[in-house]
Structure 1
Amino acid sequence: MSLKHGLLGILNYGSMTGYDLNKVFEDSLSFFWKAQQSQIYRELASLERLGLISSELVVQDGRPNKKVYRITGEGRKGLDSWLRSGLSDDLFIKRSGFLMKVFFSGELRPEETARMLRAYLARCEAELKAMEQIPAVIEAHRLPGDRPEKALCWRMTALYGLDYYRMQISWAKKAIAELEAGQ
């Protein structure tokens, strides 16, 4: 996936400002795709140059003007083509700097490795807690008239995130127990 496809997918739900797009990314996609606001704006400019989205400047009294983006017919065709293109090479995550660090942590004192694993566990628990809020976020972003399949697919992705963090928490607890048993 690319940021381009994520933005097209979100704009397929309805017109939004760059600020709104950034918020939707943070609320719904950040578990599996990180995007900084500056990246979003750069990609929006590129999508507009390609004719995949269009924008309209909305003049506001007493507030800064805002630019509202919408997907074009060509953008919908591009999104549809990407959705139907089959599985990508990034199907399974194969790189983790954290696991590389764990792999070589035999060079550290066991208590240092345990401290690192406990910090990881705490972060995973916090991420799980945040993921548990996703069903409410999905409902908040649903538009009147949305097909039920859209919310269902968001929920399936959220379920993946919940299970992912539960697995990470389980693994971290087992790793800490193994480390403590081996001391």
Structure 2
Amino acid sequence: MEEKGLVKSAIEPQEKRPDRKVYQLTKGGKETFLSWLNKFPDQLNEASRNQFLMRIFFSSKIKIDELAFEIKRYKKEIEEELKCLNKVEQWIKDYSREKKFKEDAFYWNLIVKKEYKSIAAGIEWADECLQLIEQKKRKKRGN
């Protein structure tokens, strides 16, 4: 982006830390960014290729305990994401106290709300899957 003249950078010295490179949008970069920002894609909810879900789709070929293990692992991962999201929410609250970020914080919170709902749905889904797996195992033992 720097080669295209969209951003410029400067080295900022720091005490007790390595120097950091700070980027700033150029006029052309701001114009390009605003143009991109105003052109929403035709399809807003892109289909994703999720290897985890694909493996579940074919899980009749593996041991059910292995599937349960992987779903528990998935649940643990998204619970960790929840912890990070809580930190992000606090960061937004802190930044929103500054006048220059107050307006931005409103929009940042819209993303946080979406992520909270996605994580909650993922946890609920994992719990339901684990219950269904346990039911299947009990039923199999009973036969």
Q: Give the TM bin, normalised by the shorter chain.
A: 0.7 to 0.9
Higher RCO, 1 vs 2 (CA within 8 Å, ≥6 residues apart): 1
Q: Does 1:123 align with 2:77?
A: yes
Cα contact 2:96–2:102 (8 A) shared by 1? no
Cα contact 1:132–1:162 (8 A) shared by 2? no
**Offset from partner CA, 1:116-148 (integer Å, 9 cap, x none):** 111111112121122122221123445843253
Q: State percent identity of aligned pairs.
A: 27
**Offset from partner CA, 1:53-84 (integer Å, 9 cap, x none):** 11234467887554332111111111110110
For 1:9-20, what aligned pairs fall within 5 Å after superposition? none
C-alpha spacing 1:126/1:68, structure 2 compared with 1 (3 Å)? closer
Give the alignment's TM-score, normalised by structure 1: 0.65
Residue from 59, 62, 70 that aligns with 1:108: 62
Q: Which has the larger radius of gyration?
A: 2
Residue ranges of structure 1 left out of the alignment (5+ in a row): 1-46
C-alpha spacing 1:167/1:62, structure 2 compared with 1 (3 Å)? closer
Which consecutive segments of 4 or more residues in structure 1 shift more than 3 A? 57-67, 139-145
Once structures 1 and 2 are overlaid, which stretch shifts more, 122-131 or 153-162? 122-131
Give the alignment's TM-score, normalised by structure 2: 0.82
Residue ranges of structure 2 left out of the alignment (5+ in a row): 138-143
State how far apart, in whole Å, the 1-side matches of 2:78 and 2:6 are. 37
**Offset from partner CA, 1:130-171 (integer Å, 9 cap, x none):** 212222112344584325331011011011111111100000
Cα contact 1:128–1:162 (8 A) shared by 2? yes
